[in-house]
Structure 1
C-alpha cells in the first residue's frame, strides 16, 4: 500500500470512528445524561484512547453529541411547510419539535450540565431563528400579536417546550397530549387571531 493510500485509509477509519463515537454518545447520554467517556467508548466498540483522540474532554464530546442531535433535528424541521398560515406552521413546528425534543431530552440534560452557561442556547440558535421568522411573518400578516417582540415570543415557545419535557418526566403530562397543549398555550400567548 502506498503512503498516500495508507493516509486515505487512516482518514476513512478516523471518520468511521468519529461517527461510531457520536452515535454511541447519543445512545449513552440518551439512557443516562451522566454517562462517562468509558461508557461511550464501550458502546462505540473503541478504546478510551480513540475517544480522547477525537474529543479531548467529556464536555467536547457532549457538545458534539448535542450539535449532532440538533443537526438531525434541523433536517426534519426544514421539511415543515411554513409558507401557509403561520398558525398552521406553528402547530406543525410544535408537533415536529416535540417529537425531536422527546427523543433527545437526556442529551440536552447532559449538555446543560456539562457545557458553560449560555452555550446550549447558542447551539439552539438555528431552530429558534426558524420560529422567530415564523412569528415575524405572523405579526406582519396580523395573526400574531405585535405588542411584544418576535424574539421574546419565540423564546416563550422554547421555554414551554422544555417545561413540557419536565412535566412529562415528572409524570404530570401525557406525552401524547403535549403537542396539542403546547399549540393551544402558544397560540394563546401569541394572541393568535382567527385560530
Structure 2
C-alpha cells in the first residue's frame, strides 16, 4: 500500500532536483531563459515543472536559494582564519566557481524578484566574504581607504571576469583560481605597500 506513494515521492524529488539543476545551468548562461527551455533541459514537460513551481519567479527563487545554501556550505567548510591574505587565496581557490554561479543567478533574479527578496537572498552569500575583508582591513593587510562592500564587489567582478574569459577561450579554467587570487591581492593591498606574490600566501 505504501510502495506506490513512496515511489511517486521519489520521482517528484528527482524531478525537482533535475529542474533546479537545469534552471541553474540555463539561467547562468541566459538570465532570460524561459520555462520551456528549462523544462526541456531538465527532461520534463512544462506541466510537470508547473506542478512543482507555480511560475517562473518561484522557480528562479528556488534555484537561487539552493545555490546560496550550497555556496554557504562550501564557504563554511573553508578555514578563513589566520593571515587574511592566505585566507583570501584559500577562499578563491576553493569557492570561486560557486560564487560566480550565485552571481549569475542573481542577475536572473534581479529582473524577476522583488528588491526586498533579492536583498534577503543576497545577504547570506556575501556575509562571510565581507567579514574576511573587514578583518583584513582592521589588521592592515587590506586597504582601508575604500569601503569593505566595494572591495567585496571588486572581488566578485574579478571572478565574473574570469568566468567570461574562460567562456571566450581567453583563459584556461585551471589558471582561473591563481589569476583571480593574484589580481585580488593586488587590488586589496594598501597603497604604498608591496604587492605580495601569490606563492607567498598560498
TM-score range, shorter chain: 0.7 to 0.9
Deviates more, 1:139-148 or 1:81-90: 139-148
RMSD: 3.4
**1:144-180 CA distances to partner (integer Å, 9 max, x unpaired)?**
1222221221111112111222222222222222221
Aligned to 2:199: none
- Is the 8 Å Cα contact of residues 128 and 158 (structure 1) preserved in structure 2? no
Task: Structure 1: give runs of 5+ residues left out of the alignment.
Answer: none
Deviates more, 1:161-170 or 1:103-112: 103-112
Provide the rounded CA distance (Å) in 1 between the counterparts of 2:106 and 2:172. Answer: 20
Aligned to 1:53: 51
Task: Structure 2: give runs of 5+ residues left out of the alignment.
Answer: 197-202
Q: TM-score, normalised by structure 1?
A: 0.75
- Is the 8 Å Cα contact of residues 105 and 165 (structure 1) preserved in structure 2? no
Give the match's secondary structure for 1:145.
Answer: coil
Aligned to 1:99: 97
Q: How does 1:83-122 map to 2 (within 5 A)?
A: 83-101=81-99, 107=105, 110-111=108-109
Provide the rounded CA distance (Å) in 1 between the counterparts of 2:53 and 2:42. Answer: 13
**1:27-75 CA distances to partner (integer Å, 9 max, x unpaired)?**
5546766553234335545442332233222232123212212221221
Provide the rounded CA distance (Å) in 2 between the counterparts of 1:177 and 1:120. Answer: 32
Provide the rounded CA distance (Å) in 2 between the counterparts of 1:105 and 1:149. Answer: 20
Q: Taking structure 1 as reference, are residues 20 and 135 closer, same or farther at Cα in structure 2, changes over 3 Å only?
A: same
1:69 equivalent to 2:74? Answer no
Q: Taking structure 1 as reference, are residues 118 and 170 closer, same or farther at Cα in structure 2, changes over 3 Å only?
A: farther
Provide the rounded CA distance (Å) in 2 between the counterparts of 1:171 and 1:17. Answer: 33
Aligned length: 193
